Chains A and B, each alone.
Chain A
Amino acid sequence: QKEVEQNSGPLSVPEGAIASLNCTYSDRGSQSFFWYRQYSGKSPELIMFIYSNGDKEDGRFTAQLNKASQYVSLLIRDSQPSDSATYLCAVRDRGSTLGRLYFGRGTQLTVWP
């Protein structure tokens, strides 16, 4: 059973702060990792993906991957109230040619003004 674990939260940060979201995965051979944002009552939307060790930056978002530790994180700089949502970590099944993803339970983030 491939597992994806996220810090359960909820996480609450003030506006302008850095929010740090963490995720670990059980399949050491996993290659691709995704962060999705899901607003209440809506479907997930892709924020970014990463597949190489290190950092990947996209605007205020930075994904960090450490395959040796089986750990992936998402940093949100200058957090805004509009960032308040549930963040889902997903790992692509390396054994699937169809792109199957395994999702964590999500971390609820609240950014207060």
Chain B
Amino acid sequence: GAVVSQHPSWVICKSGTSVKIECRSLDFQATTMFWYRQFPKQSLMLMATSNEGSKATYEQGVEKDKFLINHASLTLSTLTVTSAHPEDSSFYICSALGESSYEQYFGPGTRLTVT
């Protein structure tokens, strides 16, 4: 149980285009999901906290107009990187808070490369 999927697992896009990443909780409902970014040899950096049916809460320094988050249902949150640039190339990982609200279950991650 407690499986989180992400799609796509990797994506290459051209500079200036937008990319959407999906995060799904497959066998449980997640009212809260988290979006992280991880650069090589770095730790996870929280970008935003996503709650179903409400606006996401962004961490300081994360542009909410660039990283659009939608949590439209209890099993799906999406992150859209708008007008992507090479410096947005990174490993994007989502996690979902389990029904016990104690453990975070991580998705497999999406590797984004912007050329």
Contact = CB atoms under 8 A, between A and B. Distances in A.
Given A43-B93, A49-B103, A106-B43, A100 B49 contact: yes
Interface residues of B, number: 21
Q: Which of A99, A101, A103 has the most CB of B within 10 A?
A: A99
Given A88-B43, A100-B46, A42 B109 contact: yes
Interface residues of A, number: 18
A36 B46 CA distance: 15
Interface of B: 32, 34, 42-44, 46, 49, 51, 91, 93, 97, 101-109, 111
Given A41-B111, A105-B42, 5 more contacts: A32-B102, A43-B106, A99-B102, A100-B46, A106-B43
5 contacts: A43-B93, A44-B44, A88-B43, A88-B44, A101-B46
